[in-house]
Structure 1
Amino acid sequence: MKKSTLAMLCLLMIIISTVFCLAGCKSRTDEMVDLETYTTKQMTKTKKQVIECINEQDKEGLKKLFSKDAQKRIEDLDGKLDQLIGAFNGNKIESAKGRSPAFEGSAQTQPLHIYGDYDLKLSNGEEYILFINICDIDDNHQENKGLFQLSLLTFSDEEIPEGFRRNTTVDDYGIFVYTLEEAQNQ
Structure 2
Amino acid sequence: MNIKRLILFITIITLSLGLTACGSVKINLMKARESALNDEISNDNKIGNAHIKKIIECLESNDKKGLRKMFSPKALKEAKDIDGGIDYIMEFYKGKMKSRDEGTIPTKDHNEDGERKSELDCKYTVTTDKDTYIVFFKDQTVDTKNPDNVGISMLQIIKESDRKKYFDWGEGKSKCAGIYRPATVKN
TM-score, normalising length: structure 1: 0.77
Residue 53 of structure 1 is matched in structure 2 by: 58
For residues 130 and 35 of structure 1, the distance between their equivalents in structure 2, rounded to whole angstroms, comes to: 23
What residue ranges of structure 2 are gaps of 5+ in the alignment?
none
The aligned runs of 1:36-185 (5 Å cut-off) are 36-88=41-93, 91-105=95-109, 110-123=116-129, 125-153=130-158, 155-156=159-160, 159-160=161-162, 164-166=165-167, 168-169=170-171, 172-178=176-182, 182=184
Residues 114-141 of structure 1, C-alpha deviations (whole Å, 9 max, x = no match): 1222222223x22222112211122332
Residue 14 of structure 1 is matched in structure 2 by: 19
Residue 31 of structure 1 is matched in structure 2 by: 36
Q: Secondary structure of 1:21's partner?
A: helix
Q: CA deviation at 1:107?
A: 8.0
Residues 20-68 of structure 1, C-alpha deviations (whole Å, 9 max, x = no match): 2111211121122112211111101111111111111111111111112
Is the contact made by 2:104 and 2:124 (CA closer than 8 Å) also made in structure 1?
A: no
Q: Answer with 22-31 or 36-45: which moved more.
A: 22-31
Residues 64-120 of structure 1, C-alpha deviations (whole Å, 9 max, x = no match): 11112211221211111111112125x333332243422121789832111222222
For residues 14 and 121 of structure 1, the distance between their equivalents in structure 2, rounded to whole angstroms, comes to: 56
Is the contact made by 1:73 and 1:173 (CA closer than 8 Å) also made in structure 2?
A: yes
Q: Secondary structure of 1:57's partner?
A: coil
For residues 78 and 48 of structure 1, the distance between their equivalents in structure 2, rounded to whole angstroms, comes to: 21
Is the contact made by 2:103 and 2:125 (CA closer than 8 Å) also made in structure 1?
A: no
For residues 147 and 78 of structure 1, the distance between their equivalents in structure 2, rounded to whole angstroms, comes to: 15
Q: Answer with 141-150 or 15-24: which moved more.
A: 15-24
Pairwise CA RMSD: 3.0
Q: Secondary structure of 1:140's partner?
A: coil
Q: CA deviation at 1:9?
A: 5.5
Q: Which amino acid aligns with 1:115?
A: D
Q: CA deviation at 1:6?
A: 6.0
1:161–1:147: structure 2 CA closer, same or farther, 3 Å change rule?
A: closer
Q: How many residue pairs get matched?
A: 175
Q: Which amino acid aligns with 1:101?
A: I
TM-score, normalising length: structure 2: 0.77
